[in-house]
């Protein structure tokens, strides 16, 4: 096992990883920017290293500073957390080249899944169902028109380096294809420095359902069920639940099984998430995330498995301590992302928290770095707390969520707590009958 881990992140996820390390008796080093010097993970870690100024590009994304911090403190492993460099294959390569373990998948898997065209090719080889589309990258408009005849309209032009919706354009008919193709390419070039695009049939009203997988370096791979992540705004998830209210138990074990088999065939290592669109009873693989996810606690709640301690054990060469048959699913879990954002305009609301009170009680988990007096910096994403509830079934989880949201206080700034308080009483949430369009096109417009 590792002696000392460098936590290359900030915020609630840095604290999440820190707690896992402490529980395992592993020494911790936290890095931080000047803006985060007073943060809770910095106070709680065994050691801390200031790696640069507030701007992420000069601190949390500064690879030489991070690797130097690991070297001078004598770490033997690096945990990248969520976001920042967690899916940067070059960072993983450099960490490994410096004799440190990277707590995550192998760099080649990160690289492969970062290229969405490659990701689809390996997913198909591993037996996952794809959205019908171009067999690979599409380089010319003539090629696009030819392929589009077979795919049909409406279709999407997507950036190979994309994700998060950037560089994605809809073409409703053949006369819109040229404009969609060239604007997707130029947007992709500007955002990612890569103008490679591919085509997919456009699904007009899908759900976003993702499957958590985990694999060790001894050939064992299992799935830990799915998460329903359709409640989102501008590709930012706000509310996630597990299991998905849309699936039957048969569909659930089917998609889980094929995801676990694919993970094993790929020789994947560590935790990962396979993202699917689900529409009219069918699953379509779209992307794979090669990192821990923000919403991992809902999977932890229903499985009782600690994803971060498992991640660390796997990176140290450990064997998965459970088989697929030993993974059991209990009850229902929901996560609300509480952001320092105005609940209607979604403008960030950084500043000093004068008063903080967390919800509590049975089945309630709060992952946060908040404390009364904490100054929410304006430089980073606005997630300030994750509220996770677990109940015996979906109605029980919703009842616990409603109560927890009543108890939760963050003052004086507006936060998305108020949005969640309205959300829990929405009909579509009560029934579980929503798609990726529901929040933006129905809930937020009413």
Angle between helices 63-72 and 89-97 (to 10 degrees): 30
Q: What SS3 class is residue 198?
A: strand
291 is an interface residue for ligand MV4 by CB under 6 A: no
Distance CA 380, CA 305 (A): 29
Strands 332-339 and 351-352: unpaired
Q: Which of 291, 337, 394, 400 is catalytic?
A: 291
Instruction: Choose between 137 and 399: whose C-beta lies nearer to ligand MV4.
Output: 137
Instruction: Choose between 111 and 400: whose C-beta lies nearer to ligand MV4.
Output: 111
12 is an interface residue for ligand MV4 by CB under 6 A: no
Q: In what order do the strands lie in the sheet with 236-242?
A: 282-289, 270-279, 207-215, 221-233, 236-242, 332-339, 383-391, 364-368
436 is an interface residue for ligand MV4 by CB under 6 A: yes
232 is an interface residue for ligand MV4 by CB under 6 A: yes
For the record, the structure tokens of 378 come out as 């304006």
- Report, in Å, the least distance between residue 201 CB and ligand MV4: 6
Positions in 87-146 near ligand MV4 (CB under 6 A)? 131
The candidate with the shortest Cα–Cα distance to 386, out of 343, 334, 341, 423, is 334
Instruction: Choose between 91 and 284: whose C-beta lies nearer to ligand MV4.
Output: 284
- Report, in Å, the least distance between residue 269 CB and ligand MV4: 23
286 is an interface residue for ligand MV4 by CB under 6 A: yes
Q: In what order do the strands lie in the sheet with 4-7?
A: 47-52, 27-33, 4-7, 77-79, 101-102
Candidate list 43, 235, 352, 375; residue touching ligand MV4; CB under 6 A = 235
Segment interacting with ligand MV4 (CB under 6 A) among 17-25, 90-98, 202-210, 423-431: 202-210
- Report, in Å, the least distance between residue 156 CB and ligand MV4: 5
Q: Which residues contact 369 (CB under 8 A, 6 or more apart)?
A: 11, 12, 14, 15, 39, 40, 41, 384
- Report, in Å, the least distance between residue 206 CB and ligand MV4: 6
Instruction: Choose between 156 and 366: whose C-beta lies nearer to ligand MV4.
Output: 156
Active site annotation includes 291: yes
163 is an interface residue for ligand MV4 by CB under 6 A: yes
35 secondary structure, DSSP code: G
Instruction: Choose between 5 and 157: whose C-beta lies nearer to ligand MV4.
Output: 157
> In degrees rounded to 5, what are phi and psi of residue 383?
-65, 120
- Report, in Å, the least distance between residue 128 CB and ligand MV4: 14
**Cis preceding-peptide flag for 154 (omega within 30 of 0):** yes
Segment interacting with ligand MV4 (CB under 6 A) among 37-45, 61-69, 135-143, 157-165: 157-165
Task: Write down the residue that tokens 């990612």 correspond to.
Answer: 192
Give catalytic residues, as residue numbers: 291
Binding site for ligand MV4 (CB under 6 A): 131, 156, 163-165, 168, 200-203, 206, 208, 232, 235, 277, 286-287, 436
């Amino acid at each position: 096992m590792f002696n000392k881990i460098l936590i290359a992140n900030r915020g609630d996820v840095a604290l999440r990883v820190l707690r896992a390390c402490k529980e395992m008796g592993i020494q911790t080093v936290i890095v931080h920017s000047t803006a985060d010097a007073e943060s809770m993970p910095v106070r709680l870690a065994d050691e801390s290293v200031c790696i640069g100024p507030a701007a992420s590009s000069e601190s949390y994304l500064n690879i030489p500073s991070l690797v130097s911090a690991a070297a001078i403190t004598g770490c033997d492993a690096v945990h990248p957390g969520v976001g920042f460099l967690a899916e940067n294959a070059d960072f993983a390569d450099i960490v490994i080249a410096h004799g440190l373990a990277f707590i995550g998948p192998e760099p080649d898997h990160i690289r492969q899944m970062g290229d969405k065209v490659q990701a689809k090719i390996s997913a198909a080889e591993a037996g996952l169902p794809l959205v019908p589309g171009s067999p690979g990258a599409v380089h010319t408009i003539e090629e696009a028109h030819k392929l589009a005849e077979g795919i049909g309209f409406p279709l999407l032009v997507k950036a190979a380096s994309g994700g998060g919706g950037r560089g994605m354009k809809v073409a409703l008919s053949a006369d819109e294809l040229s404009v969609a193709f060239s604007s997707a390419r130029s947007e992709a070039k500007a955002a990612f420095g890569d103008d490679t695009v591919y085509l997919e049939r456009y699904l007009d009203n899908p759900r976003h359902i993702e499957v958590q997988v985990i694999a060790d370096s001894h050939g064992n791979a299992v799935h830990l069920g799915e998460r329903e992540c359709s409640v989102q705004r501008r590709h930012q998830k706000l509310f996630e639940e597990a299991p998905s209210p849309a699936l039957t138990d048969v569909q659930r074990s089917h998609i889980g099984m094929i995801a676990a088999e694919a993970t094993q065939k790929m020789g994947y290592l560590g935790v990962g998430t396979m993202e699917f669109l689900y529409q009219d009873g069918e699953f379509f693989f779209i992307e794979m995330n090669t990192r821990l996810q923000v919403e991992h606690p809902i999977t932890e709640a229903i499985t009782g498995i600690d994803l971060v301690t498992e991640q660390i054990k796997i990176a140290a060469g450990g064997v998965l301590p459970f088989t697929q048959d030993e993974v059991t699913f209990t009850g229902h879990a929901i996560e609300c992302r509480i952001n320092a954002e105005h609940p209607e305009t979604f403008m960030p609301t950084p500043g000093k928290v004068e008063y903080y009170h967390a919800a509590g009680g049975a089945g309630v988990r709060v992952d946060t770095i908040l404390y009364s007096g904490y100054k929410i910096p304006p430089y980073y994403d606005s997630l300030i707390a994750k509220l996770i509830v677990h109940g015996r079934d979906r109605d029980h989880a919703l009842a616990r969520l409603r109560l927890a949201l009543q108890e939760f206080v963050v003052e004086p700034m507006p936060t998305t707590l108020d949005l969640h308080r309205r959300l829990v009483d929405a009909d579509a949430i009560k029934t579980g009958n929503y798609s990726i369009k529901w929040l933006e096109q129905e809930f937020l417009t009413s």
